[in-house]
Structure 1
């Protein structure tokens, strides 16, 4: 139901392996909150990924880690480790259904309070009644008799979102949504042969959601460029073009690990839990709300004492199953992702670079202070207003150089006038406001005339941050009875 990802740790050697893969994950959900997401845009060709040495480096590291972990799991040390995990997690394991029901109900209460969304901040809706339906879903989880109705409500919200968003975009939220709804149905059932699969269904839902969303890092790496500019600490100094594919491999393989043998899936869950928690502080409470169900299911996987493998157990236990399973998963998911996009939008769909910023009606959000990397509805230098309300320089048919020069001349005059104020504190603020506005004007010209993706992302970041500071300075002036607008 939610896009996933974030990154936190580093340690490149263990980077991709489950426990050590604590570095790159969690940008997908955020990618759609912070960067332009044009559903119709064509993904990068698969050959680009297959020719990337970092992609294959990540694959090799993962295979080594999985084989080593599987060998340990076969030994007495592996059995002892699982037994120790069982003892530590036993109190929660015995009350896991109660835990899951509380979290699911709490999640729907939280998005009811946020308002204006279907199932995640990426899926917005102006329909107020949707929020009240979310509250009813939460109330239905209190009783086992009404849990199937809550499950139906979750599926209904996903179907409802199809009216406003492309089916391909909604696939990001299908697996987890179905898994949570299915869990509620199985948990409320009186048939033991059904109920025993309820946590397994949750595990498959999260695994599929992770593996599917990870492909965005290979199909649309440019979505992640603004996030790297906005929060450079996320990469821990790793070069962008190395970090993004390695992050994709880490996310995909940890999702794959959730479907593996008991020790590997529990280690994968622990690593993912650390990663998602690390995302909360940089991205705020909305991240916690958006990923609450994912994190709860990851906890359920980590404490799950079940050691039986119901599907394809023999291949999942064997060493050859590691490379065979991972290769099969990559082929299946990549074929589905690129194939379905071509089926929905045609093989000749335009790329993000070709669509550029004028296609704002195709994006899931446009520029605002909340979404500083959304596309700005300003395809030329004609002086169209942005959503901030501040006017861009009236460049008309000027060249970029002439537009830059005009914006700087206007900034200089206003700045010098402000600096002449008798009060040095007021003079500082009156001088800084036009200084910041000049930076905003230059950034808008860059967005209208430029083409470099890194500079475009930086320009959008400058607009968002400088506008916030302008508003803070104007508020400071208003407290002293000085109006500047």
Structure 2
């Protein structure tokens, strides 16, 4: 039965567009590491408010902001800003050129990646999207066509709303709305509009950072597998100390981008260091995904503007630091927890409850590309699944059958690969299915096992073997050798 729309054409069209853009499969929010289970209820905010490490982080940041504001009022603050101006002056004189080059380069990069919307996180099977991205990059060459590129960016952002969860698309506000707004303002002939072009970029990144930082309070369990796989990320701090303090750092540095010139530029420099250091452990895809955000952060650090256009009195006042931070926390926490309840309801389980019911690794929807699938089902290969039985009380015969299937597949592919005439190539072609067999066994263990040491070993095997498989694929591709489909 078709829905009946009101006779008001404008409202009817709006409702039709809303229906067309309704999420197709919004149960998972795909990020760098795995598709998260986002319809789980966020942890009660009282858990964060009872965490002493949260308050430790807040106090440390408040102290830093207040000291920086006190220094900023003195001659030393002026000298510090003047020194930053001199250091960044060559970039400042060509800042619009830099931004336009980075935006165009970003869209060329994701065109080259292919199959994504505005970031490698947001995948799409529509090939024409990549060509639209190339047109967006081309439109940035001329100020006359920049508004069309801005419209294209907004169109991609809205398309992503159709395929992904609108609640978590707010993470990508800076990549969509803010960049598009910059292009519109930069192409304008009105000076009173153009003067806000860098400010809109700053607000877009700040809002995106503050919004996404709340995941560390609402869903700290999402980050447990990542911390387990890459323990160096915590700088030696225990997991339950590092995650809330990292959330505080991300939120407050985002807030700092909206503050007075010295505070925002120091916040931008700190964020730039964090993003740059993330490139090595997470690789080139991470660099592509964050390139535009990093470029905007560089713009903030190089921006010589000292004028405050909005709420200048409270932003300059010393008391404005705690008042502003408190207000920002209240607004964002209320919006995050409130909008989640509006989208998903209030009768869903929290991640802690899901993990207690399904196991240590039940933080994500299952993905064959990542080792963090739920416990109830493990996929051996595309289209080939374990018997669909509950993880608790699995039948021994079903588990043995799953192991047997994986070993037969591994053996057949190994023997085929070892027949290659080149001994070095034969070794690699044999080792790839060997490693994949270990991954398949580890996934079966995660789906059916219970021993904590074995579960940890299985996670370690998956992470290590995936990295080595990628290295072997790269070795073969460098020699022009086609890897047989598994």
Q: 1:401 to 1:228 in 2, by over 3 A?
A: farther
The runs of 5 or more residues in structure 1 that have no matched partner are 1-29, 419-424
- Aligned counterpart, 2:448: 449
Report the TM-score when normalising by structure 2.
Answer: 0.78
Cα shift at 1:434: 10
- Aligned counterpart, 1:99: 98
Any idea what SS the aligned residue of 1:386 has?
Answer: strand
Asked if 2 retains the 8 angstrom alpha-carbon contact of 1:373 and 1:461, the reply is no
1:156 is the counterpart of 2:155: yes
Asked if 2 retains the 8 angstrom alpha-carbon contact of 1:67 and 1:322, the reply is yes
- Aligned counterpart, 2:119: 120
Q: 1:452 to 1:124 in 2, by over 3 A?
A: farther
1:379 is the counterpart of 2:398: no
- Aligned counterpart, 1:174: 173
Asked if 2 retains the 8 angstrom alpha-carbon contact of 1:96 and 1:300, the reply is yes
The runs of 5 or more residues in structure 2 that have no matched partner are 1-28, 416-423
Cα shift at 1:390: 8.1
- Aligned counterpart, 2:22: none
Asked if 2 retains the 8 angstrom alpha-carbon contact of 1:183 and 1:198, the reply is yes
Any idea what SS the aligned residue of 1:375 has?
Answer: coil
**More displaced, 313-322 or 437-446?**
437-446
1:293 is the counterpart of 2:292: yes
Cα shift at 1:288: 1.2
Report the TM-score when normalising by structure 1.
Answer: 0.78
Asked if 2 retains the 8 angstrom alpha-carbon contact of 1:35 and 1:227, the reply is no
- Aligned counterpart, 2:461: 462
- Aligned counterpart, 2:8: none
Cα shift at 1:473: 8.7
- Aligned counterpart, 2:266: 267
- Aligned counterpart, 2:77: 78
How many residues end up aligned between the 2 structures?
Answer: 435
1:137 is the counterpart of 2:131: no
Deviations 1:297-334 (A, max 9, x none): 11111111111111111111111111111111111100
Cα shift at 1:73: 0.6
Q: 1:101 to 1:452 in 2, by over 3 A?
A: farther
**More displaced, 450-459 or 312-321?**
450-459
Q: 1:150 to 1:314 in 2, by over 3 A?
A: same
- Aligned counterpart, 1:216: 215
In 2: Cα distance, 1:203 partner to 1:394 partner: 49
Q: 1:149 to 1:453 in 2, by over 3 A?
A: farther
Asked if 1 retains the 8 angstrom alpha-carbon contact of 2:146 and 2:184, the reply is yes
Relative contact order higher in (CA < 8 Å, ≥ 6 apart): 1
In 2: Cα distance, 1:231 partner to 1:204 partner: 31
Asked if 2 retains the 8 angstrom alpha-carbon contact of 1:225 and 1:453, the reply is no
In 2: Cα distance, 1:454 partner to 1:82 partner: 53
In 2: Cα distance, 1:76 partner to 1:166 partner: 49
Any idea what SS the aligned residue of 2:32 has?
Answer: helix
Asked if 1 retains the 8 angstrom alpha-carbon contact of 2:376 and 2:447, the reply is yes
- Aligned counterpart, 2:87: 88
